[in-house]
């Protein structure tokens, strides 16, 4: 049984589900609700959320709507991309990376208004419930968390609709039936899951895609751009310095126009099940390729290989909601140290779903043309030194091969 609480900070999108949650908190828990809506580039106007919250009885002083796009990209997306982070070889973690920021701001608001609890609208089957709550507890260990989907008595969509109609909560017409799929979006990506996407054998219909045109419909002419990096972070496009959010938005527009960043993925959820999603990360896909391009000439091979070994662990920490865990902070410190000399310019070719590195330059480059040239030896490398190098590295292989031949011959 959930005890009654005086004040609750709700992560509020303004959609039907969180509006039902808002009214449920008021009617079932007798709670004073504080709503928090984050503008993180989801592609919809957030100000109408204010009017809807007021319509549902939230006091004006208890409505928080904040533009967090710059903080989102600067403090969460860019640090993640310094590690070239990819989950299960494909997913650029667009949903996962937004959750710690929302959780962080919710806790800050809860402290400011003296709230007793925080509340989210994530279901009991997905990853987001874990991500939100691990964030809450990492930042405020004694906070009380309300997770309605795990706690209320509703068992189906019809009961939710009945509750909404009873309490005069506006219902969009398409919400009276089954939505074809659910969408989550922010400045980094959009994700679509459920309903028409639940059968992994069936190709996703074109109307599922929100942020990219089909590669088949993309222009027949490639677009060439340059991206400037400073200590591992992108700073300018085509020589024009942009803020983090503006830069990612520009890359998104370019990626959209060339059909870049589509992903149809079956992934392993943290809660144990497999799920199929269609993700679009146009700007992030370009950025990942460009970052690896500038690292290829500025980052020492040993450091690069160590980063690649650690990256899957780092990706899992983010995917599983452990952004605020000490091991993630430790890995971030290592990653950030590696980026000290990762500065320079990458030239990208954007064409029909592809983002290809075609040039890279840096005043801190480790690339030495004198060493790699096929022309006369120069630069201090003596090819004869390779003889001993190879023989030493082959020693253990030769010993093992000699043993195996001896055993095979019976001697």
**Share above pLDDT 90 across residues of the chain, in percent, rounded to a whole number:** 83
Judge whether 56 lies within some domain: yes
Q: Given CA atoms 247, 249, 252, 256 in this order, what sign does their dihedral have?
A: negative
Instruction: Indicate whether 256 and 270 sit together in one domain.
Output: yes
pLDDT confidence of 378, banded at 50, 70, 90? low
pLDDT of residue 175: 54
pLDDT of residue 386: 92
pTM of the model as a whole? 0.92
Instruction: Indicate whether 24 and 120 sit together in one domain.
Output: yes
Instruction: Indicate whether 122 and 40 sit together in one domain.
Output: yes
Judge whether 317 lies within some domain: no
pLDDT of residue 411: 72
Q: What's the token pair of residue 59?
A: 């006091």
Instruction: Indicate whether 31 and 133 sit together in one domain.
Output: yes
Q: Which domain holds residue 356?
A: 183-299+341-361
pLDDT tens for each residue of 107-153 = 999 999 999 999 999 988 899 999 999 999 999 999 999 999 999 98
Instruction: Indicate whether 134 and 223 sit together in one domain.
Output: no
Q: Is the pLDDT of residue 80 over 80?
A: yes
Q: Is the pLDDT of residue 370 over 80?
A: no
pLDDT confidence of 178, banded at 50, 70, 90? low
Alpha-carbon distances of 143 from 8, 33, 58, 115, 329, rounded to whole Å: 11, 16, 22, 9, 22
pLDDT confidence of 376, banded at 50, 70, 90? low
Instruction: Indicate whether 281 and 388 sit together in one domain.
Output: no
Judge whether 335 lies within some domain: no
pLDDT tens for each residue of 27-73 = 999 999 999 999 999 988 888 999 999 999 999 999 999 999 999 99
The secondary structure of residue 28, as a DSSP letter, is H
Q: Is the pLDDT of residue 4 over 80?
A: no
Instruction: Indicate whether 293 and 147 sit together in one domain.
Output: no
Exactly one of 19, 105, 128, 191 is catalytic; name it.
128
pLDDT of residue 163: 93
**Share above pLDDT 70 across residues of the chain, in percent, rounded to a whole number:** 95
Instruction: Indicate whether 134 and 271 sit together in one domain.
Output: no
pLDDT of residue 319: 96
Q: Which of 159, 177, 195 is the last residue of a domain?
A: 177
**Burial (0-12, 13-18, 19+ Cβ within 10 Å), 189:** buried
Q: Which of 124, 159, 177 is the last residue of a domain?
A: 177
| In contact, 116 and 145? CB cutoff 8 Å | no
Q: Is the pLDDT of residue 105 over 80?
A: yes
CATH number at residue 107: 3.40.50.620
Instruction: Indicate whether 227 and 158 sit together in one domain.
Output: no
Annotation marks residue 257 as catalytic = no
Instruction: Indicate whether 173 and 194 sit together in one domain.
Output: no
pLDDT of residue 247: 98
Judge whether 286 lies within some domain: yes
Judge whether 156 lies within some domain: yes
CATH number at residue 276: 3.90.1260.10
Instruction: Indicate whether 112 and 151 sit together in one domain.
Output: yes
pLDDT tens for each residue of 85-96 = 999 999 999 999
Judge whether 399 lies within some domain: yes
Annotation marks residue 67 as catalytic = no
Average pLDDT, the chain: 93
User: In 56-147, where does DSSP find H-type helix?
Assistant: 69-72, 78-82, 99-113, 128-139
pLDDT tens for each residue of 238-297 = 999 999 999 999 999 999 999 999 999 999 999 889 999 999 999 999 999 999 999 999
Q: Is the pLDDT of residue 177 over 90?
A: no
Exactly one of 75, 116, 157, 182 is catalytic; name it.
182
Q: Provide the number of structural domains found in the chain.
A: 3
Annotation marks residue 370 as catalytic = no
Alpha-carbon distances of 77 from 72, 87, 204, 209, 288, rounded to whole Å: 6, 14, 27, 22, 11
pLDDT confidence of 195, banded at 50, 70, 90? confident
Closest CA to 260 of 351, 381, 172, 170: 351
pLDDT confidence of 1, banded at 50, 70, 90? very low
pLDDT of residue 44: 83
Instruction: Indicate whether 42 and 191 sit together in one domain.
Output: no
- The mean pLDDT value for 317-325 works out to 98
Q: Which of 114, 144, 177 is the last residue of a domain?
A: 177
pLDDT of residue 356: 98
* Distance of alpha carbon 360 from alpha carbon 373, whole angstroms: 18
pLDDT of residue 158: 84
Judge whether 84 lies within some domain: no
Annotation marks residue 99 as catalytic = yes
Judge whether 120 lies within some domain: yes
For 277, phi and psi rounded to 5 degrees?
Answer: -140, 155
């Amino acid at each position: 049984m959930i005890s009654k609480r005086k004040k609750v900070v709700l992560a509020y999108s303004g959609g039907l589900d969180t509006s039902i949650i808002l009214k449920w908190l008021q009617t079932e828990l007798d709670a004073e609700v504080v709503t928090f809506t984050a503008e993180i580039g989801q592609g919809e106007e957030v100000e109408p959320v204010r009017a809807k919250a007021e319509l549902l009885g939230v006091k004006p002083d208890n409505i928080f709507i904040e533009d967090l796009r710059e903080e989102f990209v600067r403090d969460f997306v860019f640090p993640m991309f310094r590690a070239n982070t990819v989950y299960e070889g494909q997913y650029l973690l667009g949903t996962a990376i937004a959750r710690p920021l929302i959780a962080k701001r919710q806790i800050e608001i809860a402290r400011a208004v003296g709230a007793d609890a925080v509340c989210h609208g994530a279901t009991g089957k997905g990853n987001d419930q874990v991500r939100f709550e691990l964030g809450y507890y990492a930042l405020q260990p004694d906070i009380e968390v309300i997770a309605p989907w795990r706690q209320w008595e509703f068992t189906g969509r019809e009961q939710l609709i009945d509750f909404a109609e009873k309490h005069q909560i506006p219902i969009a017409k398409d919400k009276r039936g089954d939505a074809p799929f659910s969408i989550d979006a922010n400045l980094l990506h959009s994700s679509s899951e459920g309903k028409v996407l639940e059968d992994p054998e069936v190709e996703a219909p074109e109307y599922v895609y929100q942020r990219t045109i089909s590669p088949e419909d993309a222009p027949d002419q490639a677009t060439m751009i340059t991206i400037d990096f400073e200590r591992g972070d992108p700073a300018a496009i085509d020589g024009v310095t942009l803020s983090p959010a503006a830069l990612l938005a520009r890359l998104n527009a370019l990626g959209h126009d060339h059909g870049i960043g589509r992903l149809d993925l079956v992934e392993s959820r943290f809660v144990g099940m497999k799920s199929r999603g269609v993700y679009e990360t146009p700007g992030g896909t370009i950025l990942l390729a460009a970052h690896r391009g500038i690292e290829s000439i500025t980052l020492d091979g040993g450091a690069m290989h160590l980063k690649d070994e650690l990256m899957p662990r780092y990706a899992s920490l983010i995917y599983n909601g452990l952004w605020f865990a000490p091991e993630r902070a430790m890995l971030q410190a290592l990653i950030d140290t590696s980026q000290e000399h990762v500065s320079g310019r990458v030239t990208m070719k954007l064409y029909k779903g592809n983002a290809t590195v075609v040039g890279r330059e840096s005043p801190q480059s480790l690339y030495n043309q004198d060493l790699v040239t096929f022309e006369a030896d120069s630069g201090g490398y003596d090819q004869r030194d390779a003889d001993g190098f190879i023989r030493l590295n082959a020693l253990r292989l030769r010993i093992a091969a000699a043993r195996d031949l001896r055993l095979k011959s019976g001697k």
